[in-house]
Amino acid sequence: TNRFVQGTPLKKGVNKDLWHIYYKICDRGEWLPSQRLTVDREINKYPAALQDETGNFWVFWSAFYQIDGKSVSQIKLTIL
């Protein structure tokens, strides 16, 4: 028997969204929809965040670029 639900067929390859970083906000006890933090086409991994004394969140992550066939990493930062 077929245990899979009919729908959109799976595609081979990497979906660009797999390499983005998302965040969520809890507003008055309710979680809002996910928001995409990264917008560039590089591979984004290893996010880390901290909150400062003013309430801002500092989010750091590694972005990986392909340069001459080699993967080169760069630390990125955004403040929310």
Taking the chain, what is the end-to-end CA distance rounded to the nearest angstrom?
49
Query: For residue range 49-62, what is the model confidence (pLDDT) as tens digits?
Result: 999 999 999 999 99
Model pTM above 0.85: no
Length, in residues, of the chain: 80
Identify the three-state secondary structure at position 17. Answer: helix
For the stretch 20-35, pLDDT in tens is 999 999 999 999 999 9
Any idea where the domains of the chain sit in the sequence?
16-79
- Say how far apart CA 34 and CA 49 lie, in whole Å: 16
Identify the residue whose tokens are 């990125």. Answer: 76
